[in-house]
Amino acid sequence: MSDINTDCDLYSRETCENIPYGKESHRVFYKILEDIINNESLAEEVHSFAQNLIKNSKGDVKKANSLWQKASTKVKMPPSLPAPQLSSSSSSSPPPPSSPSSPSSPSSPSSPSPLSSPLPSSSTVLGKRRENPNVESSYSSLKKQYCFHPNVSVPLQADGSLDILGVVKATVCALDQKIITLGSFRSYKSSDYLLVNSEKSVKVPRESTYDAEMYRILVNWLAKVYDFEITGQWHLEGIGNDGDWHHFYCDLTIKKRENPYPEAVIELIATGSDPELRKHFDKVLNYADKLKSREVWLVHFSREDSVASYPYWPCEQLQGRGLNVVHFWHDICFTKVCMSAKFRDATGESQTIVNQQILP
């Protein structure tokens, strides 16, 4: 029994306070022990073991109960999330780990948490039983809102090559709506003279907002599932038009692991004017020349009212060099998205799409 007391000292409140997330782990640990004691279906020896573990920490358990109750009132977890259950056959076994693709998994490094508070509800973390006949429908709704990557196979062209427009389109549909929405209030710039909802100088998301989300989705999808290599901000060097040595950074590249050159070079721009678009046309072609990519794409996210209905296209000379352009208009909440694109298909024929709705 002395060994048990020694272990308790190792997990004391004072010790845990010096460990990242130590307080939360400390509270969860002792609260689970109390749940074990209150579970009448477990063996008496299990109850005794749990009682010995928390014998010197009763005050902490009471405090933990109070904190969890407060957290439950402040943070409303979706009622559909299935809680981990305590097994009657082995009380010392941890709950089964969540699936890596589950939106509720707190361990996934790339998933945006749907909660603003670090303390989840006690009924979800501590394994209390909760029955809800609408579990599956509510859970699928949450899954749609917090998407790690598109739930589709990688799109291919008729010749078997990667369909870059299909990849970009599927990726855009999987962007986190909340993150894009917050871009207009936190990571914003001015639309200047471009009209957004018939007004000038409206706050719109910066390029970095879209860049981060595109990179996250592409890595989770193409890299982790299909073994592509996704590179953000590929560092390039060379002599600029002014004759000086410059450093350049390509926004996104998609590359097959076995190929030396990228499948596509992608340059992003956010709510850009026609002169800004022309500059980016030249930039992405320069990157493509240096990296010898198979395809070249300019992806324009914009809140401008007319961008999808009256898109700005590159000249025929730039199209002849392989430049493909796609414009995505979206509303402030990213619940409605329309696309216009001009590109060459696998046969080399020029294709044009204007104002195609892709969301909802």
User: Looking at per-residue confidence, does 194 or 66 come out higher?
Assistant: 194
Q: What is the pLDDT of residue 24?
A: 63
Q: What is the pLDDT of residue 134?
A: 43
CA distance 177 to 289: 34
Q: Which residues pair with 297 in a beta bridge?
A: 266, 324
Q: Of 226, 239, 341, 245, which is closest to residue 295 (Cα–Cα)?
A: 341
Give the chain as a 3 state SS string.
CHHHHHHHHHCCHHHHCCCCCHHHHHHHHHHHHHHHHHCCCCCHHHHHHHHHHCHHHHHHHHHHHHHHHHHHHHCCCCCCCCCCCCCCCCCCCCCCCCCCCCCCCCCCCCCCCCCCCCCCCHHHHCCCCCCCCCHHHHHHHHHHHCCCCCCCCCCECCCCCECHHHHHHHHHHCCCHHHHHHHCCCCEEECCCCCECCECCCEEECHHHHHHHHHHHHHHHHHHHHCEEEEEEEEEEEECCCCCEEEEEEEEEEEECCCCCCCEEEEEEECCCHHHHHHHHHHHHHHHHHHCCCEEEEEEEECCCCCCCCCCCCCHHHHHCCEEEEEEEECCCCCCEEEEEEEECCCCCEEEEEEEEEEC
Q: For residue 38, give the amino acid letter.
A: N
Query: Could you read off the pLDDT of 58-105 as tens digits, one per residue?
Result: 445 555 555 545 544 544 444 443 433 333 333 333 344 444 444 444
Q: What is the pLDDT of residue 344?
A: 94
Report whether 150 contacts 173 (CB < 8 A): yes
pTM of the prediction? 0.61
Q: Has residue 131 got a pLDDT over 60? A: no
Q: For residue 322, give the amino acid letter.
A: G
Greatest mean pLDDT among 99-103, 109-113, 307-311: 307-311
Q: 44-58, 173-187, 292-306: which has the minimum mean pLDDT? A: 44-58
- For the segment 328-355, the average pLDDT, to the nearest whole number, is 96
Q: What is the pLDDT of residue 224?
A: 94
Q: What is the pLDDT of residue 267?
A: 98
Domain boundaries, the chain: 2-145, 164-359
User: Looking at per-residue confidence, does 60 or 342 come out higher?
Assistant: 342
Q: What is the pLDDT of residue 1?
A: 44
Q: What is the pLDDT of residue 65?
A: 55
User: Looking at per-residue confidence, does 133 or 280 come out higher?
Assistant: 280
**Two structure tokens written together for 162:** 């990667």
Q: Has residue 316 got a pLDDT over 80? A: yes
- For the segment 99-115, the average pLDDT, to the nearest whole number, is 40
Q: What is the pLDDT of residue 33?
A: 73
CA distance 176 to 154: 20
Query: Could you read off the pLDDT of 160-169 as tens digits, one per residue?
Result: 899 999 999 9
